[in-house]
Amino acid sequence: MRPDREDEFLQYVSSRKQRLHRVAYHLLGDRDRADDAVQDVLTVLYQRWNRMHDVANLDGYAHTMVVRECLRDRRRWLSRVHLWESPPDVPVVATDPDVEERMLLRAALRQLPERQRTVLVLRFLCDLPVLEVAALLGVAEGTVKAHTAKGLDALRRRLDTTTRSLA
């Protein structure tokens, strides 16, 4: 790759990596697996970088690559790993008053079925419209709307239950 194209790639990655990682983390629920997914995507993107100047929406292209890698990773990982019913207790040190809320939300989000969680992350964290989420996942718009409604309802129930048990 030419040095100017490589510099362009490095600038792109440094400005987008955190956002891509945040999406991967919310889809996978694990920082290390999110790191791996983003790294795999960036490796492929680097290999294709000379052809990327023709891509109209590079951010959308990279975002789609991350989502698909996460879905692929999740399928592979679940076929190899035995999951316990609940995660082990981990001490939490809260320095920010919103940390507890975010942790509760993430825990409730991880309890949702994969499709509902994926749709909610894409719709609300990534702020994608229904049409784009449907195209990204290869499903009908009505399916995205149904998963959104069911996912939000389940999330609300889980959060209500959790907050009541903490009070």
- Judge contact between 25 and 31, C-beta under 8 A: yes
Q: What span, in angstroms and rounded, lies between the C-alpha atoms of 111 and 57?
A: 33
> Residue 111: CA atoms inside 13 Å, Cβ hemisphere, count?
19
Same domain, 99 and 167: yes
- Domain of 141, CATH number, reads 1.10.10.10
Domains identified in the chain, total number: 2
Q: What are the pLDDT digits (tens) for 77-109?
A: 555 554 555 655 555 555 555 777 778 888 888
From 83, 109, 140, the end of a domain falls on 83
Same domain, 47 and 104: no
Same domain, 95 and 57: no
Nearest to 29 by CA among 114, 100, 138: 114
pTM above 0.75, yes or no: no
Same domain, 158 and 136: yes
- Domain of 78, CATH number, reads 1.10.1740
